[in-house]
Homo-oligomer: A and B are copies of this chain.
Amino acid sequence: MTLDDTTKHSDPVPSHDGQPVPSPELDQLYRDFAAISTAPLWTQTNDLMPFAPAPAAIPFVWRWKTLLDIAQRSGELVPVGRGGERRAIGLANPGLAPTAYATPTLWCAIQYLGARETAPEHRHAQNAFRFVVEGEGVWTVVNGDPVAMRRGDLLLTPGWNFHGHHNDTDQPMAWIDGLDVPFAHDLDFGFFELGSERVTDESSPAISRSEQLWAHPGLTPLSSQGASVSTPLAAYRWEHTDAALRAQLDLEDQGYPATVEQGHAAIKYTNPTSGGDVLPTIRCEFHRLREGAQTPARHEVGSSVWQVFEGRGSVVLNGERMALETGDLFVVPSWTAWSLEAETEFDLFRFSDAPIVERLHFSRTYIPSRA
Q: Please, how many angstroms separate the alpha-carbon atoms of A62 and B40 in the complex? A: 15
Q: With contacts A18-B85, A191-B52 known, is A360 near B356, CB below 8 A? A: yes
A1-23 CB contacts (< 8 Å) to partner B: 1-5, 7, 9-20, 23
Q: Which of B48, B189, B216 contacts A240 (CB 8 A)?
A: B216
CB nearest neighbor in B for A6: B171
Interface size class of A (residues with CB under 8 A): 35 or more
A87 → B minimal CB distance (Å) = 7
Say whether A272 contacts B274, CB under 8 Å: no
A290 at the interface (CB under 8 A from B): no
Copies in the complex: 4
A307 at the interface (CB under 8 A from B): no
Flag A74-102 by CB within 8 Å of B: 1 or 0 each. Answer: 11111101111111111111100000100
Q: Which of B109, B187, B231 contacts A41 (CB 8 A)?
A: B109
CB nearest neighbor in B for A239: B216
Q: With contacts A41-B89, A189-B53 known, is A217 near B220, CB below 8 A? A: no
Instruction: Find chain B residues with CB under 8 A from A233 CB.
Output: 217-218
A63 → B minimal CB distance (Å) = 8
CB<8 Å pairs between A and B, sample of 16: A1-B64, A7-B72, A18-B81, A20-B77, A20-B84, A41-B100, A42-B78, A48-B107, A184-B362, A187-B353, A209-B256, A212-B250, A216-B267, A221-B248, A223-B259, A355-B360
A105 at the interface (CB under 8 A from B): yes
A123 → B minimal CB distance (Å) = 10
Say whether A18 contacts B84, CB under 8 Å: yes
The 5 closest A-B pairs by CB, nearest first: A18-B83, A42-B84, A188-B334, A39-B100, A14-B79
Looking at chain A's contact residues, is the secondary structure mostly helix, strand, loop, or mixed?
Answer: loop
Instruction: Find chain B residues with CB under 8 A from A254 CB.
Output: 209
A206 at the interface (CB under 8 A from B): no
Q: With contacts A12-B78, A256-B209, A266-B221 known, is A85 near B45, CB below 8 A? A: yes
Say whether A215 contacts B218, CB under 8 Å: yes
A107 → B minimal CB distance (Å) = 8
Say whether A18 contacts B221, CB under 8 Å: no
A271 at the interface (CB under 8 A from B): yes
CB nearest neighbor in B for A254: B209
A193-225 CB contacts (< 8 Å) to partner B: 193, 209, 212-223
Q: Please, how many angstroms separate the alpha-carbon atoms of A107 and B55 in the complex? A: 19
Flag A274-300 by CB within 8 Å of B: 1 or 0 each. Answer: 110010110001010000000000000
A218 → B minimal CB distance (Å) = 5
A311 at the interface (CB under 8 A from B): no
Q: Please, how many angstroms separate the alpha-carbon atoms of A77 and B359 in the complex? A: 42
Say whether A42 contacts B87, CB under 8 Å: yes
Instruction: Find chain B residues with CB under 8 A from A171 CB.
Output: 3, 5
Instruction: Find chain B residues with CB under 8 A from A49 CB.
Output: 124, 126, 181, 184-185, 190, 192
